[in-house]
Amino acid sequence: MSGPPCGQSESLDVDGRTRAAHAARVTLADLLASVSVLALLVGAMLVTLEQGHQAWAVGAARVEAQQSARAALTWLASEVRAAGEGMSATGHAAISVAEPTRLVLHVDKNHDGVIAVASETIVWRLDKDILRRDTGGGGQPVINGVRALAFAYFDAAGAPTTAPAAVRTVRVTLSTRADHARSTPSAGLGASLTTEIRLRNR
């Protein structure tokens, strides 16, 4: 008569009990405890995922605000620095309007001694929360989400001035916020940058 090897149960289980006997031992309390543990694990994973998403959104908003401000300031600084180019002999003003949120500068690009071409007069101004640049074809948006724009003007001695012809240095302060914020925590993030620009041709 053949049978299972010595020490091996016919039920193929280590304790020799049938499957029905094991099933009877799983109570409702066991099931509830298992579901509770699973719910805790899933909840912890969701919280971790949400925190990671918020951290990413905050970082992306901060980078966006800083990059926008830096790009705008770089462009603005290059044009302020070149103001008055080709106009030394004519005596024309490099800057004709020096206001707290509006700057009008001139560059004689074709060196003909007159400012006649539309692109030779450049206007930088703040329009609500948009920084605009106008060269005669209407104010084109440079960056959105501008919280504040402030121009400060200084003469050759470094003293503050409001006379456009006396301006030799322009200090620009630009504050921006993330224009494409994807969450409430990132909506209020921004950057504030300040730079001083010396007019190269005055």
User: In this structure, is residue 152 part of a structural domain?
Assistant: yes
* Residues in a beta bridge with 58: none
Give pLDDT, residue 91: 65
Residue 151: which of 67, 45, 47, 80 has the closest Cα? 80
Give pLDDT, residue 192: 87
Round to whole Å and give the CA distance between 157 and 168: 9
User: In this structure, is residue 37 part of a structural domain?
Assistant: no
Give pLDDT, residue 185: 57
User: In this structure, is residue 148 part of a structural domain?
Assistant: yes
User: In this structure, is residue 30 part of a structural domain?
Assistant: no
Give pLDDT, residue 183: 54
Cα dihedral 65, 69, 71, 73 in deg (nearest 10): 180
Give pLDDT, residue 137: 81
User: In this structure, is residue 24 part of a structural domain?
Assistant: no
* Domain total in the chain: 1
Assess contact for 122 and 106: CB atoms under 8 A: yes
User: In this structure, is residue 124 part of a structural domain?
Assistant: yes
User: In this structure, is residue 63 part of a structural domain?
Assistant: yes
Assess contact for 172 and 77: CB atoms under 8 A: yes
Round to whole Å and give the CA distance between 110 and 108: 6
Three-class DSSP category at 116 = coil
DSSP character string of 22-77: HHHH--HHHHHHHHHHHHHHHHHHHHHHHHHHHHHHHHHHHHHHHHHHHHHHHHHH
User: In this structure, is residue 4 part of a structural domain?
Assistant: no
Give pLDDT, residue 179: 62
Range of the domain at 128: 47-198
For residue 52, what are the CA distances in angstroms to 40, 55, 66, 118, 197?
A: 18, 5, 21, 50, 40
pTM higher than the cut 0.75: no
At residue 181's C-alpha, the angle toward residues 53 and 131, to 5°, is 155
Residue 133: which of 181, 73, 197 has the closest Cα? 73
Residue type, 85: E
Per-residue pLDDT of the chain (202 residues; tens, 9 = 90+): 555 555 555 555 555 566 655 555 778 888 888 888 899 898 888 888 887 777 766 666 667 768 888 889 999 999 999 998 877 656 678 899 999 999 999 988 777 777 777 778 999 999 998 999 999 888 899 988 888 999 999 999 999 999 999 999 999 999 988 765 555 555 566 788 999 999 988 7
